[in-house]
Structure 1
Amino acid sequence: MERSELVALLSPEGLRLLDSLPPYSSERDVLAIVSDLRKQGHSPALVAAVLTQSKLRRKAVAKFGDFASQMLFTEAGLEQATRLPVAARHAGRFRAAGLRRVADLGCGIGGDALAIAALDLDVLAVEADEVTAAIASFNLAPFPSARVEHRRAEDVDLREIDGVFLDPARRTAGHTQTERLTDPDDYTPSLGFAYELATGRSVGLKLGPGFDRDLIPSTAEAQWVSADGQVVELGLWFGALARPGIRRAALVLRGDQADELTADADSPDEEAGPLGEYLYEPDGAVIRARLIGDLARRLGGRMLSEQIAYITTDRATETPFAAGFRVLESLPYAEKDLKKALRQRGIGTLEIKKRGVDVDPAALRRRLGLNGDRPATLILTRVAGRHTALLAERL
């Protein structure tokens, strides 16, 4: 979004026009809306700006729910924004630690700052990009305890601040078609700045879930978060924001339910053992946090094979930390024989999961030529070091 587009959008005419639009549905409907708005005398720039916002608001519902209809976004800002349920947990850390004055450095469109302000905490939201800072100001306007400043994180005076939250920009500059940065020194603000700030301060740092574990300081609590089956972030917490005795955590969010595995360090894996009647695939947050061994012990299970994140058990146990499967039988691993076996069993709908084998599930599914009315799950992995195909059903 260009500055001129934002100025037009934030005008009384622009905001009234945006709120008057029907919910965004499809590109086909957009053509008719554009024609109508142009006939009403609205400028092409304003029409483009409000339609872009309408489309982004629909997309934002997945992260912000009903709040999305009252917010403004950039494409890049929405992509990098924290989901509201996760942001609420960030904010809860500051409140639980008794930190009343919080600085959100690199606030983006203001998602985390919004959650912090909603808990009646004072929040200073800082954003280096002018357009994004203006959008954050709009989104935070309903909260008197929040204020936004357009400046670099490195230039903020933190003497009156109790705690700091940082969500460094991990993509190239811009509002659309940005690219992911691989070098933490290229983050804005940089990882080095964040770590220096965390020395002697209460700091929360949001990073991507695939962040290099070797770069995690020993003083931090590292919490991987998954939301509805997708690992969405790694949070590093320092000072009063880090919980005593916890250095590794896997938080699993599904709808309104939250469950967490915690430990004081990476947990050692259980030894590998024979295939049992049940197989469990740990949630991605559990795998990232390296708490698979603790989960296996909870389930009374063992590793299916060394270095492979499957747990096998002899009895079913309900757990929020893994997807469970009942193993029905072992099938031939060779593709030609596997195709014949699936046809004999009338399998027409097949979920394919794999670990420890080099195969493209989508391509394999096409080659198998499935024909039948039975659903099943096919798990391709190694058992005792041997490639194995397991026919299973979800618990």
Structure 2
Amino acid sequence: MAFTLDDVEFLTSPRGAAALAEVAALPLAGDRIADIAAVRARYGEHTAVLVETTLLRRRSAQKLPGAQGWLFTDEALQQATAAPVAAHRARRLAGRAVSDVTCSIGAELAALHGSATAVVGSDTDPVRLAMARHNLADAPVLLCRADALAPITADTVVVADPARRSAGRRRFDPRDYAPALDDLLAVYAGRDLVVKCAPGIDFEALGDMGFRGEIEITSWQGSVREACLWSAGLAEPGVARRASLLDSGEQLTDAADDDCGVGPAGRWIVDPDGAVVRAGLVRHYGARHGLWQLDPDIAYLTGDAVPPGVRGFEVIDQLPFTEKALRQALSTLDCGALEILVRGVRVDPDALRRRLRPRGGTPLSVVITRIGTGRAARAVAFICRSSRAPATRD
């Protein structure tokens, strides 16, 4: 739904705060008709914003754990940076004055104000700015309405998080972001600039737009969250790509050793964190942890030990991949719950699992991958025991 300034004024008033506390006590789950009717009977035209705000606050709990009393729009919450990711970025900017030129409802500002020397937030949306004023009421942050492409500060690091959705649909071309990425790079050329982008952004396209800094890929809770562009003045010398794994605290850059060999499967297969794969640092990760690749063009690693805290797949059988051979091998091993990982081979894991119909009592994992190129290429299936259950993702 679309919030208005009048809605924000009501929600931040004593009556609105009391109403939100009352609505927060309702289940609002499953069939909400009775709950919504009760709210409407008491608060009339404010029903929609009360219910929506309550539901958004519940959705925000894991992503923004310190924001229980915040105000959101649905789109703003979707785009808001998860608190651990924002905190990681703020640590890199500690001791600097920062201007967030797309501040929205204030998620980045909440992380920045504790370590930056000064923080300014601006946005073109008056409703989101009003929400940010409420959300950051106790923080020493200056907020103003301004276009991101019309600089209002000097000698600050500029942080931008351009919108990558429109009417609920993703924008994949960075020139279609709002504001467009090429425009941001042009307007702030020569300034220290940090831009949050979609993790799947085309690295070559960035070069075509003149970007020459560092691309950082960040993961949290087992999934890739974003690509962050750091202009040359903020990048570590000699670093063009970085993977930051917030779950383990590990960081890896393309300046590290990438002397990673290729060979047959060892005791374990490791599927590197998505940030490592997306940043193109699989060989660097393998070299750091004493692993080697199954194939030079495939992102699976293997070795005789698993890096600390990392999930691994212990190989118990290896066979040329055919459904018939795999089904027979799994049946012999009394396979029950089955996890299938695929890379380099056209196989739909869910469809294959349904066709295999494992009915035993032993949980197993199967890693299916291509080894070799050209006429020598072959699909291989590794039947494994996982070192732990699959990670849950939000």
Distance (whole Å) between structure 1 residues aligned to residue 246 and residue 33 of structure 2 = 39
Amino acid at match of 1:387: A
Kept after mapping to 2: 8 A contact 1:91/1:119: yes
Provide structure 1 residue ranges, at least 5 long, that are not aligned to the other structure.
Answer: none
Distance (whole Å) between structure 2 residues aligned to residue 93 and residue 318 of structure 1 = 26
Task: Give yes or no for the alignment of 1:366 onto 2:365.
Answer: no
Kept after mapping to 2: 8 A contact 1:23/1:58: no
Q: Which residue of 2 aligns with 1:88?
A: 87
Q: Which residue of 1 aligns with 2:390?
A: none
Task: Give yes or no for the alignment of 1:386 onto 2:378.
Answer: yes
Among 110, 131, 153, the alignment partner of 1:114 is: 110
Distance (whole Å) between structure 2 residues aligned to residue 245 and residue 72 of structure 1 = 41
Kept after mapping to 2: 8 A contact 1:325/1:392: yes
The 5 A counterparts of 1:128-207 are 128-143=124-139, 145-159=140-154, 161-172=155-166, 177-207=167-197
The 5 A counterparts of 1:1-395 are 1-3=2-4, 4-22=6-24, 25-28=27-30, 30-39=32-41, 41-43=42-44, 45-65=45-65, 67-95=66-94, 98-99=95-96, 101-119=97-115, 121-143=117-139, 145-159=140-154, 161-172=155-166, 177-214=167-204, 215-216=206-207, 219-254=212-247, 257-264=248-255, 270-313=260-303, 315-319=304-308, 323-331=311-319, 333-384=321-372, 385-395=377-387
Report the Cα offset of residue 233 of structure 1: 0.6
Question: Does the C-alpha gap of structure 1 residues 342 and 248 become closer, same or farther in structure 2, counting only changes over 3 Å?
Answer: same
Report the Cα offset of residue 116 of structure 1: 0.9
Report the Cα offset of residue 10 of structure 1: 3.5
Task: Give % identity.
Answer: 35
Amino acid at match of 2:69: Q
TM-score normalised by structure 2 residue count: 0.89
Report the Cα offset of residue 81 of structure 1: 0.6
Distance (whole Å) between structure 1 residues aligned to residue 231 and residue 25 of structure 2 = 42
Report the Cα offset of residue 393 of structure 1: 1.3
Distance (whole Å) between structure 2 residues aligned to residue 165 and residue 24 of structure 1 = 38
Q: SS in structure 2 opposite 1:246?
A: coil
Kept after mapping to 2: 8 A contact 1:275/1:383: no
Report the Cα offset of residue 240 of structure 1: 4.4
Distance (whole Å) between structure 2 residues aligned to residue 249 and residue 341 of structure 1 = 40
Q: Deviations over 1:160-184 (max 9, x none)?
A: x421111111112xxxx42111222
The size of the alignment, in residue pairs, is 378
Report the Cα offset of residue 196 of structure 1: 2.4
Question: Does the C-alpha gap of structure 1 residues 17 and 167 become closer, same or farther in structure 2, counting only changes over 3 Å?
Answer: same
Question: Does the C-alpha gap of structure 1 residues 52 and 132 become closer, same or farther in structure 2, counting only changes over 3 Å?
Answer: same
Q: Deviations over 1:38-59 (max 9, x none)?
A: 33x311x311111111111111
Question: Does the C-alpha gap of structure 1 residues 27 and 148 become closer, same or farther in structure 2, counting only changes over 3 Å?
Answer: same
Divergent runs of 4+, >6 A: none
Provide structure 2 residue ranges, at least 5 long, that are not aligned to the other structure.
Answer: 388-394
Kept after mapping to 1: 8 A contact 2:211/2:231: no
Kept after mapping to 2: 8 A contact 1:198/1:239: no
Kept after mapping to 1: 8 A contact 2:339/2:365: yes
Q: SS in structure 2 opposite 1:375?
A: strand
Report the Cα offset of residue 361 of structure 1: 0.9
Report the Cα offset of residue 23 of structure 1: 5.4
